[in-house]
């Protein structure tokens, strides 16, 4: 499961996400289901999530990656991603994509000598080609399905508590990644963990929070800025 997230980051230094658990104290019955049924319950629950926050670190990508993203279903998202020593801010509003990064990011991405000029500026980029993966930020359910997809049979674990939330574990034996799903309220994912030096840790919270998305000020167009 977690290898799917890593693959997404490696594709374009960005990862997508799902939402956290929150809800009342009554059992939602998910703990009695099979591993596959728990995953399906999470996919169904995500259809009702308006927004979510994801944060954490990934180790088994080409370089260590950390992320802090807030996503809004059907609209986009915003946040910050760090890959090695390169960090950038990103905002997606429907089909409009904006990036704010340093000179190194732009020099590598555009193979342009104008990296210093773009450094620290908000730049609008096309939501296609090398930037196409950013558009996936607009659909939390699709992202969750990608994260949870695996070629091996999932294994159901026991119940425990994560950050005060009662959860049931579902493990992917091929990568030893474990996702914890809420057993009260809606069965949202709460945490995704893979141990070891090549593992990672991602948490999900702030589900259904109000997240205004507005275009950043003084935006440059990447095609104009890159001289194309």
Least confident stretch, 1-15, 68-82, 136-150, 214-228? 1-15
Least confident stretch, 56-70, 98-112, 162-176, 179-193? 56-70
134 has a pLDDT exceeding 80: no
Q: Output the six-digit token pair for 118.
A: 């773009």
Note the pLDDT tens digit of each residue in 18-63. 333 344 468 999 999 999 999 889 878 877 888 888 888 876 556 7
> What does the pLDDT read at residue 145?
63
The whole-angstrom separation of Cα 204 and Cα 140 is 12
CATH number of the domain that residue 34 is part of: 2.50.20.20
> What does the pLDDT read at residue 3?
47
> What does the pLDDT read at residue 47?
75
The whole-angstrom separation of Cα 146 and Cα 189 is 13
> What does the pLDDT read at residue 25?
62
> What does the pLDDT read at residue 21?
37
For residue 15, what pLDDT band results from cuts at 50, 70 and 90? very low
Q: pLDDT: is 167 or 14 the higher one?
A: 167
Q: Concatenated DSSP letters for the chain?
A: -HHHHHHHHHHHS-----------SSB-SGGGS-HHHHHHHHHHHHTT--EEEEEEEE-SSSS-EEEEEEEETTTEEEEEEEETTEEEEEEEETTEEEEEE-HHHHHHHH--TTHHHHTTSEEEE-SSGGGGGGGGGG-HHHHHHHHH--SS--EEEEEEEETTEEEEEEEETTTTEEEEEESBSS--EEEEEE-STT-EEEEEE-TT------PPSSPEEHHHHTT-
Alpha carbon of residue 223 to chain centroid: 27
Domain tally for the chain?
1
Q: What's the pTM value of the predicted model, to 2 decimals?
A: 0.75
Q: Output the six-digit token pair for 63.
A: 């370089």
Taking alpha carbons only, the member of 49, 43, 57, 112 closest to residue 77 is 49
| Average pLDDT of the segment spanning 188-213 | 84
Give the domain extent around 117: 2-225
For residue 17, what pLDDT band results from cuts at 50, 70 and 90? very low
For residue 122, what pLDDT band results from cuts at 50, 70 and 90? very high
Characterize 36-68 residue by residue with b for buried, 16 or more Cβ atoms within 10 angstroms of its Cβ, and e for exposed. eebbbbbeebbeebbbbbbbbebbbbeeebebe
Note the pLDDT tens digit of each residue in 72-82. 888 888 999 88
Least confident stretch, 24-28, 120-124, 166-170, 214-218? 24-28
Q: Answer whether 181's CB lies under 8 Å from 168's CB.
A: yes
Q: Packing angle between helix 35-46 and helix 140-148, nearest 10 degrees?
A: 160
Query: What value does the mean pLDDT of the chain take?
Result: 78
Q: Answer whether 55's CB lies under 8 Å from 68's CB.
A: yes
Note the pLDDT tens digit of each residue in 152-161. 788 999 999 9
């Amino acid at each position: 499961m977690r290898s799917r997230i890593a693959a997404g980051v490696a594709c374009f230094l960005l990862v997508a996400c799902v939402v956290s658990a929150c809800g009342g104290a009554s059992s939602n019955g998910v703990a009695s289901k099979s591993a596959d049924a728990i995953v399906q319950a999470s996919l169904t629950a995500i259809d009702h999530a308006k927004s979510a926050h994801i944060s954490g670190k990934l180790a088994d990508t080409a370089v260590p990656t950390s992320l802090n993203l807030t996503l809004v279903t059907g609209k986009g998202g915003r946040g910050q991603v760090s890959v090695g020593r390169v960090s950038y801010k990103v905002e997606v509003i429907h089909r409009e994509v904006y990036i704010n990064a340093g000179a190194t990011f732009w020099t590598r991405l555009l193979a342009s000598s104008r990296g210093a000029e773009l450094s620290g500026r908000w730049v609008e980029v096309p939501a296609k080609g090398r930037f196409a993966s950013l558009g996936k930020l607009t659909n939390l359910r699709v992202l969750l399905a990608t994260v949870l997809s695996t070629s091996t049979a999932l294994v159901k674990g026991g119940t425990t508590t994560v950050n005060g939330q009662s959860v049931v574990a579902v493990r992917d034996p091929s990568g030893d990644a474990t996702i914890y799903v809420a057993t009260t309220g809606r069965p949202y994912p709460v945490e995704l963990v893979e141990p070891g030096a090549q593992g990672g840790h991602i948490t999900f919270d702030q589900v259904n929070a109000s997240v205004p998305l507005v275009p950043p000020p003084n935006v440059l167009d990447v095609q104009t800025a890159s001289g194309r």
